[in-house]
Amino acid sequence: MLDRTASSRSKSSMNTENPSLAAGYFDVPDTMLATIVTCLEMKAKPASRPNPPADGLVVERWEKPSIADYRALYRRVGEDWLWVSRVVMADEALAAIIWDPRVEIYAMTRDGEGLGLLELDFREPGQCELAFFGLDQSLIGSGAGRILMNAAIDTAWSKPITRFWVHTCHLDHPAALAFYQRSGFKAYKRMVELFEDPRLTGKLRADAASHIPVISAE
């Protein structure tokens, strides 16, 4: 799976300028996780890349999804990458985002079953954020990520934008960063992020993201 990048956590940290860290080791509390976030952007539409065989997969605009249906697909594609922000967000706040006409949500489906999530945020004039991009584990390595990314690029650049951007982190699929770079995004900033492990607070199931060890003092 080439996931929607890193953004289960609050995006407020994306807009905060912090001093650079000195080289060395830093303690991380037992209940916290640390990750390196890479911010990427493209300033013009890249050359088209061909889609692999679709094998019944369709990318469709998802107009005003219900909160429950949206969260179900969000969990399906993101829980094993520790996506949590839309799980814990108040219903009213989530509705204000996903029902905003400047936010476009797409579902990748096969025979009516939701297997992928794409969310494009045009709320900042002249820009588009690739807010969420994720696939069900069953589609890993199938080429579905290229189909979904081509849909994202074509849709984003069909609007009057000058910048398309995304961020990912090392808790995402190991191939995510390289995939974004192959797709035409260029890295422009890296940050270190610390956040509460949602598996220790019950916000996500305790066995989510089993490839990322849970560290606890108990």
- Is the residue at 6 inside a domain? no
For residue 57, pLDDT over 50 is answered with yes
- Is the residue at 86 inside a domain? yes
Query: Nearest CA to 148 among 164, 134, 166?
Result: 134
Tens of pLDDT, residue by residue over 90-129, are 999 999 999 999 999 999 999 999 999 999 999 999 999 9
Tens of pLDDT, residue by residue over 118-138, are 999 999 999 999 999 999 999
Burial 186-204 (b: 16+ CB within 10 A, else e): eeeeebebebebbbbeebb
- Is the residue at 2 inside a domain? no
Q: What is the mean pLDDT of residues 184-198?
A: 94
- Is the residue at 208 inside a domain? no
Burial 108-144 (b: 16+ CB within 10 A, else e): bbbeeebbbbbbbbbeeeebbbbbbbbbbeebeebeb
Residue 17: the pLDDT is 59
- Is the residue at 3 inside a domain? no
Query: Nearest CA to 109 among 64, 141, 153, 61?
Result: 61
For residue 68, pLDDT over 60 is answered with yes
- Is the residue at 7 inside a domain? no
For residue 3, pLDDT over 70 is answered with no
CATH of the domain at 190: 3.40.630.30
The average confidence (pLDDT) of the chain is 90
Highest mean pLDDT, choosing among 5-9, 31-35, 67-71, 210-214: 67-71
Query: Nearest CA to 71 among 104, 110, 117, 103?
Result: 117
**Whole domain around residue 58: which residue ranges?**
31-47+54-201
For residue 15, pLDDT over 60 is answered with no
For residue 164, pLDDT over 50 is answered with yes
Share of residues in the chain with pLDDT > 70 (%): 91
| Total number of domains in the chain | 1
pLDDT band at 141 (very low <50, low <70, confident <90, very high): confident
Q: What is the mean pLDDT of residues 78-91?
A: 94
For residue 16, pLDDT over 80 is answered with no
- Is the residue at 184 inside a domain? yes
- Is the residue at 128 inside a domain? yes
